């Protein structure tokens, strides 16, 4: 399939959450390089200008990823419209701000409906089509927070840990169909992800007010990458014959995760005698 698509000179993308942030930047960049894009957003008006700018190379679709029937219809419409889907890019998501004690069950369920179940709906709708056409790529936008956590956004982190596990299992399950999976793990970037549209806030408990204020202040001093610098990296992943399962976007994640795993290994090793004693006799 790769050879065929190279001869045709373009790739076909299906991108969720294309109204802003990385989804918008990557949809625009893919179109500029001559690819075709099915761009989805909850509000069609938010991506109408893409249609004006790129004409027949783009299909704009209104999509709420938490509606499985709507997802299936959108994926099938995009596939029928362009004749194939080369890259399915799950980008839609948001963050819940609040401590573990503050987040309500309904708020956590809603977070997972978008970040996990919405992603799964897209994958499940796309897989039969990708198998039928002989292969394809699935790119899932996770985060460096899929490996480490921060306080106050622990539920968001947990959704990304789940996201990572699902995609790692998926990659092994679909490899024989020539479907390749890559988890894109951005660090901190100056996108709209921190806007009111991408954040929801749990009701506060007074005892955490100062702690959360200190956390928010620490975020304000965090160095953020330039989203416009990212498309070339995404294209290299999308075009690679053997793409990585995981890819850090930006320069900050690897040092952070390297230190976190070194600490974990040190603790596991410190407690290894206790762990081994708990094994008991072989049976």
User: pLDDT tens digits for 36-64?
Assistant: 999 999 999 999 999 999 999 999 999 99
11 is catalytic: no
CA–CA distance, 198 with 188 (Å, rounded to integer): 14
pTM for the model stands at 0.93
**Mean pLDDT, residues 209-228:** 89
10 is catalytic: no
Residue that has been written with the tokens 């990385």 in this structure? 22
Structure confidence at residue 198 (pLDDT): 62
Banded model confidence at residue 216, pLDDT cuts 50, 70, 90: confident
Q: Best-predicted range by mean pLDDT among 23-32, 191-200, 216-225?
A: 23-32
State the catalytic residue, choosing from 112, 156, 189, 208.
Answer: 156
156 is catalytic: yes
State the catalytic residue, choosing from 19, 95, 121, 142.
Answer: 142
**Mean pLDDT, residues 10-22:** 96
Structure confidence at residue 10 (pLDDT): 96
Domains and CATH numbers, the chain: 2-254 (3.40.50.720)
% pLDDT > 70, the chain: 95
Per 3-state DSSP, the chain is made up of helix, strand and coil in percentages (nearest 5) of: 55, 15, 30
What b-and-e string marks burial along 202-219, b requiring 16 or more CB atoms within 10 Å of the CB? beeeeebeeebeebeeee
Per-residue pLDDT of 122-166, as tens digits, reads: 999 999 999 999 999 999 999 999 999 999 999 999 999 999 999
**More confidently predicted of 282 and 232:** 232
Residues 167 and 183 sit within 8 Å (Cβ to Cβ): yes
Q: Provide the β-strand partners of residue 15.
A: 39, 89
Structure confidence at residue 142 (pLDDT): 97
Structure confidence at residue 220 (pLDDT): 79
CA–CA distance, 20 with 64 (Å, rounded to integer): 15
**Mean pLDDT, residues 177-181:** 98
Contacts of 162 (CB under 8 A, 6+ apart): 112, 116
State the catalytic residue, choosing from 11, 160, 200, 212.
Answer: 160
For 113, half-sphere exposure in the C-beta direction (CA atoms, 13 angstrom radius) is: 11
């Amino acid at each position: 399939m790769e050879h065929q698509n190279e001869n045709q000179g373009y790739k076909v993308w299906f991108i969720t959450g294309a109204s802003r942030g990385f989804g918008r930047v990557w949809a625009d960049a893919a179109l500029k390089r001559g690819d075709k894009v099915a761009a989805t957003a909850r509000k069609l008006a938010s991506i109408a200008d893409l249609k004006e700018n790129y004409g027949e190379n783009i299909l704009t679709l209104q999509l709420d990823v938490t509606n499985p029937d709507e997802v299936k219809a959108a994926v099938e419409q995009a596939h029928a419209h362009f004749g194939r889907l080369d890259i399915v890019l799950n980008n839609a998501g948001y963050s819940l701000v609040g401590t573990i004690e503050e987040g309500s069950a309904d708020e956590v369920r809603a977070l997972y409906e978008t970040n996990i179940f919405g992603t799964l709906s897209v994958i499940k709708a796309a897989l039969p089509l990708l198998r039928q056409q002989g292969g394809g790529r699935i790119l899932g936008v996770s985060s460096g927070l899929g490996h480490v956590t921060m306080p106050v956004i622990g539920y968001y982190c947990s959704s990304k840990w789940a996201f990572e596990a699902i995609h790692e299992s998926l990659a092994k399950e679909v490899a024989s169909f020539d479907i390749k999976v890559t988890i894109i793990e951005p660090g901190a970037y100056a996108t709209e992800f921190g806007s009111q549209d991408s954040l929801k806030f749990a009701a506060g408990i007074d005892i955490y007010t100062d702690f959360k204020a200190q956390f928010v202040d620490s975020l304000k001093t965090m160095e953020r990458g330039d989203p416009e610098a990212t498309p070339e990296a995404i294209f290299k992943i999308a075009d690679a014959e053997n793409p990585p399962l995981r890819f850090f976007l930006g320069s900050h994640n690897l040092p952070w995760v390297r230190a976190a795993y070194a600490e974990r290994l040190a603790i596991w090793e410190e407690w290894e005698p206790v762990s081994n004693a708990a094994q008991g006799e072989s049976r």
